[in-house]
Structure 1
Amino acid sequence: MFLLTVKKKFVKELTVIGIILTALVAVVYHLFIPDRYFLWFPAIPIFFYLFGLFYIEMFAFNYRQGVQKIAMTYLVCKALKFILSAMVLIFYGFVIGHEVVAFMVTFIFFYFAFLIFETRFFLLFEAKLKLRQKRNDEKNTVHSDYAVTADGGSGCHDAGTGR
């Protein structure tokens, strides 16, 4: 249930930030620098949106495998995103070649905006996860079979045998 809630929140925030950034950059291009607009502009937010969906699915998968792997998942996803982004920039620069500087500046703007969003989300997720584990640990400690009784004993019925 916790994981489903986190995924829904991430996708909702990812969608909102994607729409806002896309609208903001499109307005800047159309109002201030219309001669620099390039036809591949919509591909940039789509790339980062799809990678965001991949990102949360990787977290969900590794969360089910074990919480210990989440930090590594974050690092692997960041490295993969960097490599794919570099490949997209190189491909666009050599194959398409139309308004390369505008494409690269826009791509880098989206890259850092989504990087900040994902890092913020990951840090908040980690904090909630640690708080949740702490509550579970406290709950297990309080309800343990070996809890200390009010008279300072160990809670064992037979003091001589420990049973």
Structure 2
Amino acid sequence: MYLKTVKKKFIEELTVASIVLTAGMGLIFHFVIPTWYFVWFPIIPVFFYLFGFLYIFMFAFGYELGTDKIAMTYLICKVLKLILSALILVSYGFVIKEDVVAFVAAFVFYYFAFLVFETRFFLRFEAKLKLSKQVKNEKNTVHSIDAAAVVGNSDNDAEGGDRR
């Protein structure tokens, strides 16, 4: 249940971030540097939006394997994103060959913006996960039978007449 909530929140934030970044870049291309606008611009936000979906589902898969696998899943996704991004940039440069500088500049901007977004989101998730583990561990140690035996069972002390 918790994982569904995290996935939903991530997708909502991903959608908002994609819309805001695309609108912002569209305005910049329209008003500030209209000569830099290129036909293939819409492919950039689509790539990062779709990769965000892959990212959250890979993360959910890593979470289901165990919470100790989350960091490895995060790193695998980052490396995969870097490799796919490099392939897209190189392919665009060799195949399309139009407005390469504008494409690379926009792509790098999106890459770093989504890097910050994803990192911030998963750092918050990891912090909440650690906090919930600490709370769970504290409940186990405070309310466990072993802790009561060490501290002393107040019912036995009262029945035995041991009143200090």
Q: Same fold (TM over 0.5)?
A: yes
CA distance in 1, matches of 2:96, 2:153: 75
Gaps of 5+ in 1: 158-163
Deviation at 1:95, TM superposition (A): 0.0
Q: Who is 1:30 aligned against?
A: 30
Give the counterpart letter for 1:58 in structure 2: M
Q: Who is 1:124 aligned against?
A: 124
For 2:145, what is the secondary structure of its paired residue?
A: coil
Give the counterpart letter for 1:109 in structure 2: F
CA distance in 2, matches of 1:93, 1:146: 66
Partner deviation per Cα, 1:42-94 (whole Å, 9 max, x = no partner): 00000001111111101111111100000011111001000000000000000
Partner deviation per Cα, 1:128-155 (whole Å, 9 max, x = no partner): 00001111111111221222259x4378
Q: Who is 1:113 aligned against?
A: 113
CA contact (8 A) 1:63 1:70 kept: yes
CA distance in 2, matches of 1:153, 1:46: 62
CA distance in 2, matches of 1:140, 1:66: 20
CA distance in 2, matches of 1:112, 1:32: 21
Give the counterpart letter for 1:78 in structure 2: K
For 1:147, what is the secondary structure of its paired residue?
A: helix
Q: How many residues align?
A: 155
Give the counterpart letter for 1:104 in structure 2: V
If the length of structure 1 is used for normalisation, what is the TM-score?
0.90
If the length of structure 2 is used for normalisation, what is the TM-score?
0.90
* 1:1-163 matched pairs, under 5 angstroms: 1-148=1-148, 152-153=151-152
CA distance in 2, matches of 1:66, 1:149: 32
Q: Who is 2:159 aligned against?
A: none
Bigger drift between 139-148 and 96-105 goes to 139-148
Divergent runs of 4+, >4 A: none
CA contact (8 A) 1:147 1:154 kept: no
Superposed CA RMSD: 1.6
CA distance in 2, matches of 1:130, 1:48: 28
Percent identity of equivalent pairs:
61
CA contact (8 A) 1:146 1:154 kept: no
CA distance in 1, matches of 2:112, 2:32: 22
Gaps of 5+ in 2: 157-164
